[in-house]
Structure 1
Amino acid sequence: MSEKITPADAIRLLDAGRAVAVDVREPDEFAVGHIPGAKLLPLGSVLARAAEVLPEKDAAWLIYCRTGRRSADAVQKLESLGYTNLYDLGGILSWPYEIEGDFEGHF
């Protein structure tokens, strides 16, 4: 089961160590800027690499991309693989908290 989550609720889970962010953008997008501690699992690799990158199917995973379109697609794919505790965080463009990477003020 998945649900939408706000950045405010997501940061509380992340800060408490109760969830891990998962970036489903491409590696070059991830390098520009991502949520600190996020795992990279590009959308095109979800079905092939989910078990490797996200080994615990019942852990809390916060799925995000740039605007929210790919995160919704990734959540559906992960659900089909048996993941049970997914949160669709939407896009990093609406993330008001710290971002790490090589960005220069833009995505």
Structure 2
Amino acid sequence: MLQFLQNNIWTVLITLVSGAMLFWSFFGNRLRGIREVDHIAATQLINHKSALVLDVREQGEYDAGHIVNSKLIPLGKLLERIGELEKYRERPIVVVCRSGQRSASACALLGKEGFAQAHNLNGGVMAWQKAGQPLER
């Protein structure tokens, strides 16, 4: 076994790193305590729980198409503008970006700031569009 590892160290390392990356892509957000929702669950939160849709993309991305009635606060300004969300502290917040990565970071930040009902839209606006959901321009 030791001889095999020595002869194939790069193959073994690449396999381990690839496995770790795959594991993180599936379970990383859950391990960070981030709630993921698909477009169906997001729509239910919006329609039945009066959830705020928080878009954390940049202005140009937002202008190109956004979920109806969403509030734009770019991720880079979220902490300094967190006070604008105070009235939503006890309500669900569906956080969106292009693909779900920035919104996951925003959910983590919101959680640290005491917003217990922050939900990341899995796949972001791209998944929303792919599901045939409307965007406003």
For residue 37 of structure 1, what is the aligned residue in structure 2?
A: 69
Between 1 and 2, higher relative CO (CA 8 Å, sep ≥ 6) is seen in 1
Name the CA distance, whole Å, in 2 between partners of 1:51 and 1:36.
Answer: 22
Structure 1 residues not aligned, in runs of 5+: 102-107
Read off the aligned partner of 1:63 and give its amino acid letter.
V
For residue 92 of structure 1, what is the aligned residue in structure 2?
A: 125
Greater share of residues in strand: 1
**Alignment length, in residue pairs?**
100
Q: CA deviation digits over 1:60-104, x for unaligned, max 9?
A: 000010011100111111111111111111310000211001xxx
3-state SS of 1:47 partner: coil
Structure 2 residues not aligned, in runs of 5+: 1-32
1:1-107 matches, within 5 Å, as: 2-52=34-84, 54-55=85-86, 56-90=88-122, 91-95=124-128, 96=131, 97-101=133-137
Read off the aligned partner of 1:23 and give its amino acid letter.
D
CA root-mean-square deviation: 1.3
Instruction: Write out the 4+ residue segments of structure 1 that deviate beyond 3 Å after TM superposition.
Output: none
Greater share of residues in helix: 2
**Identity, % of aligned positions:** 33
